């Protein structure tokens, strides 16, 4: 923050605090001359403000002492707080407190408390962790905090985000492959072919690909689409359309569809392409936490078999 805006905030904040303090102290009681006071006194002898409507007078009683001193105390509290903590422009506060610093301190304490537990589970192979319910529970919590926004709280995924509870894997479902995916992330790209094969080509290939999964299609389009497929698509998905896990190219012969199996969605994938990214978590999670998440995800596949 520039010095100008820093001083602007400081002057405005302190100015408003001192202004409301002055306002509360100065106008705690109305100071009137004896003549005015006589004129602004009700028949019962209570001072009034002079406001009278429909026979109702507004009394001019001073604020209760408890309210006034609570008001002053709140102003003192505000000044003490702004002295101790950041809140006045670039001033960092006497205690030099920051939310980042507090978070780092909490993380440090958590690592001291849970670090040995993570380290112990991290030394156990993933297939053996399946026999450790407590470890899988920890992996589930880490998954919920970091992965559920894409894959869902139950890890069943959604359109464009893989279901992690079945046995269909783009890059392989072994324990080590899952761990690599979490650690390093994945970048999948389906190139847009619409400009290359044209609108008819897109529709024909769509029919051919959908036929591989046993979906209803036009027979005359299938043959034309097969020819285009074997020219443009086999390099990634294979001549038999079984896909290649090394490249993350999906199997087009099963009934699992990441973006949907309708004519609209399949043709959209072929025409415009797809770009999917699984972020790398090596910067967010340590190796033992990743190990536990991998074990949890691996356990979901084993449970479905």
**Which pLDDT score is estimated for 26?**
84
Residues in the chain predicted with pLDDT less than 50, given as ranges, are 35
Cα 292 from chain centre: 21
Instruction: Give tens-digit pLDDT for 180-199.
Output: 999 999 999 999 999 999 99
Q: Directed axis angle between helix 99-122 and helix 287-304, to 10°?
A: 60
pTM recorded for the entire structure: 0.71
Given this chain, do its domains 101-184+284-304 and 188-278 carry the same CATH topology? yes
Instruction: Looking at the structure, give the CATH architecture of the domain made up of residues 188-278.
Output: Orthogonal Bundle (1.10)
All residues at 6 or more sequence positions from 202 whose CB lies less than 8 Å from its CB, including other chains = 193, 194, 267, 270, 271
**Which pLDDT score is estimated for 73?**
96
All residues at 6 or more sequence positions from 185 whose CB lies less than 8 Å from its CB, including other chains = 277, 278, 279, 280, 281
Query: What is the token pair recorded at 265?
Result: 């969605």
**Which pLDDT score is estimated for 266?**
97
Task: Using alpha carbons, list the distances in angstroms from residue 235 to 185, 240, 271, 297.
Answer: 23, 11, 17, 30
Question: Which of 221, 207, 297, 219 shows the shortest CA–CA distance to 252?
Answer: 207
Q: What is the CATH number of domain 101-184+284-304?
A: 1.10.760.10
Collapsing DSSP to helix, strand or coil, 21 comes out as helix
Question: How far is residue 29's CA from residue 25's CA, in Å, rounded to a whole number?
Answer: 8
Residue ranges of the domains in the chain?
3-84, 101-184+284-304, 188-278
Question: How far is residue 168's CA from residue 15's CA, in Å, rounded to a whole number?
Answer: 65
Query: What is the token pair recorded at 135?
Result: 């470890």
**Which pLDDT score is estimated for 60?**
72
**Which pLDDT score is estimated for 43?**
55
Query: What is the token pair recorded at 128?
Result: 């053996």
Task: Using alpha carbons, list the distances in angstroms from residue 150 to 59, 78, 219, 276.
Answer: 63, 42, 37, 12
Q: Directed axis angle between helix 99-122 and helix 133-146, to 10°?
A: 140
**Which pLDDT score is estimated for 1?**
82
Query: Is 59 exposed, middle or buried (CB count within 10 Å of its CB: 0-12, 13-18, 19+)?
Result: exposed
> Residues 137, 273: contact at Cβ < 8 Å?
no
DSSP structure class, residue 53: E
**Which pLDDT score is estimated for 54?**
80
Q: How many CB atoms are closer than 10 A to CB 233? A: 23
Instruction: Give tens-digit pLDDT for 136-153.
Output: 999 999 999 999 999 999
**Which pLDDT score is estimated for 61?**
74
**Which pLDDT score is estimated for 27?**
78
Q: Directed axis angle between helix 219-232 and helix 194-212, to 10°?
A: 120
Taking every pair of C-alpha atoms in the chain, what is the biggest distance, in angstroms? Answer: 108
């Amino acid at each position: 923050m520039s010095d100008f805006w820093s001083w602007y905030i400081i002057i405005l904040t302190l100015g408003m605090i001192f202004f409301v303090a002055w306002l509360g102290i100065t106008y705690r009681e109305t100071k009137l001359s004896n003549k005015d006071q006589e004129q602004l006194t009700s028949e019962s002898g209570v001072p009034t403000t002079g406001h009278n409507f429909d026979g109702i007078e507004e009394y001019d009683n001073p604020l209760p002492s408890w309210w006034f001193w609570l008001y002053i105390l709140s102003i003192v509290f505000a000044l003490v707080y702004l002295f101790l903590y950041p809140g006045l422009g670039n001033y960092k506060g006497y205690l030099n407190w920051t939310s980042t610093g507090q978070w780092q301190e909490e993380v440090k304490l958590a690592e001291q408390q849970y670090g040995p537990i993570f380290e112990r589970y991290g030394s156990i192979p993933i297939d053996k962790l399946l026999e450790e319910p407590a470890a899988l529970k920890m992996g589930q919590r880490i998954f919920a905090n970091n992965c559920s926004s894409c894959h869902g709280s139950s890890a069943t995924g959604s359109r464009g985000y893989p279901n992690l509870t079945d046995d269909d894997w783009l890059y392989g479902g072994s324990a080590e492959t899952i761990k690599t995916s979490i650690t390093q992330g994945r970048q999948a790209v389906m190139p847009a072919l619409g400009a290359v094969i044209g609108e008819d080509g897109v529709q024909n290939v769509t029919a051919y690909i959908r036929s591989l999964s046993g979906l209803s299609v036009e027979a005359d389009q299938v043959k034309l689409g097969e020819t285009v497929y074997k020219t443009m698509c086999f390099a990634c998905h294979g001549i038999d359309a079984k896909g290649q896990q090394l490249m993350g190219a999906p199997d087009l012969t099963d009934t699992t569809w990441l973006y949907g199996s309708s004519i609209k969605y399949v043709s959209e994938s072929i025409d415009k392409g797809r770009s999917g990214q699984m972020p790398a978590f090596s910067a967010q999670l340590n190796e033992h936490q990743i190990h536990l998440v991998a074990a949890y995800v691996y356990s979901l596949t084993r449970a479905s078999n």
